[in-house]
Amino acid sequence: MHERNPYRVRKPDFAALAEKDEALRPFVTKSDHGASIDFTDARALRALTAALLRHDFNLDIELRDDRLCPTVANRLDYVLTCLDLAQYAAPGPLRALDIGTGHVAVYALLLHKLRPEAYVVGSELEPTSLAHAREQAARNSIAPAAVEIKGVPPDNSLLGHLKDQDSWSFTMCNPPFFASLAEAEEARLAKATPASAAPTCAPNEQVTRGGEELFVGQMIDESVAYGDKVGWFTSLVGRYASLGPLVKHVLTKTTNYAVISLRQGNTARWVLAWSFSPYRLPDVSCTDPVKVADEQNLTRPAHVEKGTSFAKMVSLSNSFVHDEEEKDLDEVRQAITDVLKSVNIDTTADEEGVIHLAPTTNTWSRQARRAAQRAAQYAEGGEEASAALPESSTSQEPLFRARLSFTKPEAPASTDADRESDVEAPSPSVPKARAAMEWQWGRDRTIVDAFWKFVIQKAGLRKRKQSGEDGPAEKKSRPGAADDEEQQTNNPYLQHQDNPYLSHGQGGANRGRGRGRGGRRGALGGGRGRGGYSRPQDQGWARRQ
């Protein structure tokens, strides 16, 4: 669960809840092992959901018998994840669009309770669900200025309501998963164990033409028209088989994306998020060390098993890290600071010793350094010779923004298994110093990657020698570089023929294997693309709540 989900550390106490909720009481069974609820009883599920919303969120909700009963804990996970994403977007009022909000608009209402200042639009196609959702907002005295339930946009699109405001923090959607009821039944029968909860979906809530792949694909196509007017577009993906094709589809539009796993018990869902803004997500955003250990970071799990299909879908890291085993922390800091000063980059550090980088001119490329040398030579010959040099390109905004920090890594704590083992394990090698640059803002990864390589190489820093290696250690830009390069060369999602960043050699670290038509070496290889991704035309709106 999300680190801020209250049910992560405090599971619902069915006995206490039943004591104060008369509607739930008949469905709670008490025994010597505690209180329990029969989750195969759809009536019990509705009573529990209503009780949790009533007592934990002060929401008086009426659930229909013929519509999906939302599970509060996992709905809350998605809302909290979207709020995390909203922190990495342009500043402004918190506005969100929930596409296909369902009959109780649960995402919109939960978001309102968590962030009362937000403006949330919930859109819904199906007339019965639309009317009932509006009744729930009125029932709880929530004004349309806070939560507004709307029908189909005038243009009959999924994202048409985005035209009503100048900016939006994020969109969210929990689409129908399946293309037909037969496909839904096939998926149910394929499960290793029977479902632990009673089915409560109406047909229109679990089925749409083309399934979630076509539905979300249409959303991806429509999102291009809104660009960075929206901080993050997001959708839940319920079937792992849909995830790969959808990542391919996103990469035909942008390389700024993330695949985020949401897991509760045996249920796995994925949030697919993408953006056209220059804001970059951190690899690690949480503060809870348990959550980090559980590999539930915002954008990249702490450990990704190489060669797996999921590893090939994870976005490239926005953290550039060098671990140094020869020089100590002060030497590394001084060496890197000297390099930055040599190319006229501000090295002023904050109270924590962090340097905030925001260069407006590329002064570190070979061409820029040669031009600087020629300028110095011409300067000796007078102003007229100096004026003959081409003007350097300086932008009004930074080429990128990044956070550069220096730390001394600590040895990992021993586990109970280590202490109980009769075999003495070798002590892990701990680097003397770590330099880490977190890319926070910018559109061109090639510039950031080239900058980091330049800094590390010019500072004379070397990679850590692995156990059993012979010979001198090689220079290395960051410990994760090999993993990312393997991802780029073996990742079919990054090599998709329709990816425009492939055909123009842009969008990745400067490790490409060939030149794109733009003549630049791009991380994604540089082969010729063969056209765009065909736009799905599905207008199906009904979705899972």
Tell me which of 213 and 394 has the higher pLDDT.
Answer: 213
User: Looking at the predicted structure, is the pLDDT value of residue 46 above 80?
Assistant: yes
Question: In the predicted model, what is the mean pLDDT of the chain?
Answer: 80
Q: What is the pLDDT of residue 181?
A: 64
> What pLDDT shows up at residue 134?
98
User: How does DSSP assign 391-406, residue by residue?
Assistant: PP---SS-S-EEEEEE
Q: Over 70: is that where the pLDDT of 350 sits?
A: yes
Residue reference for tokens 């106490």: 13
Question: How many CB atoms neighbour CB 403 within 10 A?
Answer: 16
Is residue 279 within 8 Å of 88, Cβ to Cβ?
yes
Q: What is the mean pLDDT of residues 194-212?
A: 68
**Token pair for residue 13?**
């106490």
Mean pLDDT lowest among 66-80, 196-210, 278-292, 381-395 = 381-395
Q: Are 323 and 475 in contact (CB under 8 A)?
A: no
- Mean pLDDT is lowest, of 73-82, 348-357, 504-513, for 504-513
Across residues 22-33, what is the average pLDDT? 92
What is the model's pTM? Answer: 0.80
3-state helix, strand, coil in the chain (%, to 5): 35, 15, 50
pLDDT over 50 (residue 512): no
Q: For 378-397, what is the mean pLDDT? A: 58
Complete domains list, the chain, with CATH: 14-281 (3.40.50.150), 318-368+398-409+431-461 (3.30.310.80)
Burial of 445 (0-12, 13-18, 19+ CB in 10 A): buried
Mean pLDDT of 60-79: 95
**Quick one: pLDDT band at residue 421, thresholds 50, 70, 90?**
low
Q: Which residues pair with 437 in a beta bridge?
A: 320, 404
Half-sphere exposure of 317 (CA within 13 A, CB side): 25
Q: Which of 31-45, 88-102, 301-315 has the highest mean pLDDT?
A: 88-102
| Bigger pLDDT: 295 vs 258 | 258
The token pair that represents 281 in the structure block: 């997500």
Backbone angles phi, psi at 261, to 5 degrees: -85, 135
Kindly tell me the sign of the dihedral angle through the C-alpha atoms of 144, 149, 153, 158: positive
Share of the chain above pLDDT 90, in %: 59
pLDDT for residue 544 is more than 70: no
CB–CB of 17/24 below 8 Å?
yes
The answer to whether 173 and 235 have CB atoms below 8 angstroms apart is yes
